[in-house]
Amino acid sequence: MKYITLNNAVEIPIVGCGTNTYGKVGNQYSGALRGDTQEIDWAIENGYRHFDSAQLYNNEEVVGNGLKKSNLPREDFFITTKLNTFQGFAGADWAHAEIEKSLEKLQTDYIDLFLIHKPWDHDAEILEAWSILEDYYNRGVFKSIGVSNFEKDHLDLLLENGDIKPAANQIKSQVGNWNDELIAYNEKNGIATVAWSPLRGIDENAKQVLEEIGNQYGKTYAQVVLRYQFERDVIVIPKSHNKDRQAESLNIFDFELSANERERIAAL
């Protein structure tokens, strides 16, 4: 596994495992929990140690149960989760309660990377939420803190008013929308980029180009996409309900794209 060193010297595996439909009936985002940890079990067996979760997914306990069941030491894993701010911010007491629920569901006394999941239209509240994350960070409960879906103006708010710089910004970056400008802004400010759903957006035309490139290396189109992100230091969190495809997403470190190939991918 390759790692990215965050701005506070914490190392994060550059390939993680998305989990938002794991352990759910029909593998559906809104599905009820099945009561098993099959996908997490496969991912651990395949070699994943970085797991991306969120309160919004309503399945943090699936991740927690799976990691616990593995009997591997907690420190072997890198766990990300996120404060559910899709409906805004309901105050400090609410935030503390939700954070404690996450710790309980994940069966851990610390989180490796804790994110604000989405910005909302209230700067003072965003800063209050960030201050709460900073407090947990200063107490060692969060090993690193960051944000998700934040644009430049939201990042500026934290950079100008917060005490701790975000370690990561988890954003959309995929075929058809690489989000180069925001990634460059993240990099300029020492903020790592994490790409959610990195394998979406691939239409038939893009797939044909990616397969043509991949055939030269014995790689799939998905592996080419992940390799492209890796080569520009973007952390990826692909997700699959198929054990073999999970393994494929980790097998991207034994080939290198040419400059021309990177240009072709960037143009997709």
Counting every residue, how long is the chain? 268
Distances (CA, A) of 212 to 107, 204, 216, 217, 228: 44, 12, 7, 10, 14
CA–CA gap between residue 145 and residue 155 (Å, rounded): 13
Spatial neighbors of 268 by CB under 8 A, at least 6 apart, are: 175, 176, 205, 206, 209, 210
Helix (H, G, I), strand (E, B) or coil at 126: helix
Q: In this structure, are residues 53 and 66 in contact, taking their beta carbons and an 8 Å threshold?
A: no
Structure-token match 């209230």, residue found:
122
End-to-end CA distance of the chain: 27
Catalytic residue chosen out of the listed positions 22, 48, 57, 228: 57
In this structure, the dihedral spanned by the alpha carbons of residues 149, 24, 22 and 226, taken in order and rounded to 10 degrees, is: -60
For residue 48, what are its two tokens?
């994943």
Report phi then psi at 148, rounded to 5.
-140, 140
pLDDT in tens, the chain (268 residues): 999 999 999 999 999 999 999 999 999 999 999 999 999 999 999 999 999 999 999 999 999 999 999 999 999 999 999 999 999 999 999 999 999 999 999 999 999 999 999 999 999 999 999 999 999 999 999 999 999 999 999 999 999 999 999 999 999 999 999 999 999 999 999 999 999 999 999 999 999 999 999 999 999 999 999 999 999 999 999 999 999 999 999 999 999 999 999 999 999 9
For residue 62, the tally of other CB atoms under 10 A from its CB is 27
Instruction: Concatenate the DSSP letters of all residues of 85-124 into one string.
Output: -TT----HHHHHHHHHHHHHHTT-S-BSEEEE----S-HH
pLDDT for 213 equals 98
Q: Among 41, 4, 43, which Cα is nearest to 250's?
A: 43
State yes or no: is 57 an active-site residue.
Answer: yes
41 CB-side CA count, 13 A: 6
Domain boundaries, the chain: 3-202+233-254
d(CA 164, CA 217): 42
Other C-beta atoms closer than 10 Å to the C-beta of 202 total 17
d(CA 188, CA 183): 9
Architecture per CATH, 3-202+233-254: Alpha-Beta Barrel (3.20)
